[in-house]
Structure 1
Amino acid sequence: MLVDLNGRTAVVTGSSQGIGLAIAVGLARAGAQVVLTGRREEQLRKAAAEVATAAAGAEAVTVVCDLATADGAGALCEAIPETDILVNNLGVFGPVPALEITDEQWRTYFDTNVLSAVRLIRSYLPGMKQRGWGRVQNIASDSALVIPVEMIHYGVSKTALLSVARGFAKEAAGSGVTVNSVIAGPTHTPGVEDFVYDLVGRDRPWEEAQREFMRLHRPQSLLGRLIEPEEIAHLVVYLSSPQASATTGAAVRVDGGYVDFIVP
């Protein structure tokens, strides 16, 4: 399938590494002008260089901002007043015993994983509707449906993202704008490597640690391995395309069969 996004602008949040960077590369390869966001200028410069290398010289715009705050969202929208594609990928995660999650941690996860997406949709959706075309995607997680006991606060935030996408899809009904969630399964990123080692110990090679993590903590996976970020990006690029015009209000899974449901 040929996806042509030439002439489109795509904002990808949390895109200095991992899934967000892979998504930005995929969109750039399809012809979109990509906007990378993050809190660290040096990391964003490196990410922009990776986009240029991987996407045949594509130039990525970078915006340094903390999107967990209203000021950060305002800074991004001032720098990039409108966009055709918005991918809300920003998120934090980490294991905390269930009864030890503090109020502050709950607020941090809501501000970062949920409210950051709400603010940007609220800012960019009106322009998309006015122009009659747009794509919004929230990167959710298998943890939205299978709440992990080691990070309930994370799972709850990702469940909320599914509702955010479904609700705003109704707001965009009939406008030519689609709003969807992507349910990503356990994915291989630098942050996840640290998470895996925290759970299974650091006294073993990565491949062995990965297998042990999947066996002990994600046994439902039908892949039996972590998903690579590029595999998440492929679905996001499709949902960003004209070919995906009839998919909206959906929670689309790229989870390696981890979630043991027939639908969604």
Structure 2
Amino acid sequence: MTKPVLILGSAPSVCAVQSWPKSQFSAIVAINNAWQIREDWDYHIAPDDFPAARGPQSLRAGQQRVTSAEYVPANNAYGGILYAGGTMAFTAGYWALAALAPSALVFAGCDMVYPKGGSTHFYGTGTADPLRDDITLRNLEAKSARLLLHAAEQNCACLRASTGESRLVFPSLTEADLPRLRSVKIVSNTAQFAEIKAQEKALDYVVPSGRYWASRKNISPARLDALDEAWLGAVVT
């Protein structure tokens, strides 16, 4: 039986999962700088422009790097990055769905909420990548809803390891909930899911290379916004 996958982001709240038992997870995926949070991660995933000097300089036995050569095709299998959202938390989620077939995706330090003062990341102050002006990131809640529903189609739950404010529409959990993760109820409206996927296919906003910013496709923000609203409306709470 598959186990949950823990995905580590860089928000200060990620420190809360430093001591969560590895035995509860089939794998730990560290995004960008988050490999520093704990030594027992399995996969380091980062964009091509992530500075090599800030990544792990050596790998332990069993550890692997995940690059665009792996995560772009994985995202394409779920419709492509223009629909999925061009920030690494979502990219890592779809890659994990494709590559690891988890029973749940648990996101820590990925709430995409940035205080105006103080530390924005566990290492201090960083760039709020999900808040940049980008056609794929106009509605972060909707992008998280889309990921949640795609995961549900694979009998995989999406959860967040935080209880405060979040742009993710996932249910919260604490360490005490870990033993019950396999019994999380997954609700999905199959007909509505298929209808929205058909709308995406009809728009054909697919850029196989993943480099949507360099594409000559005529992308309509209004049509992407309509899709976002549809995904949000499809979430069963």
Structure-2-length-normalised TM-score: 0.38
Q: Which has the higher helix share?
A: 1
Q: Which has the higher strand share?
A: 1
Structure-1-length-normalised TM-score: 0.35
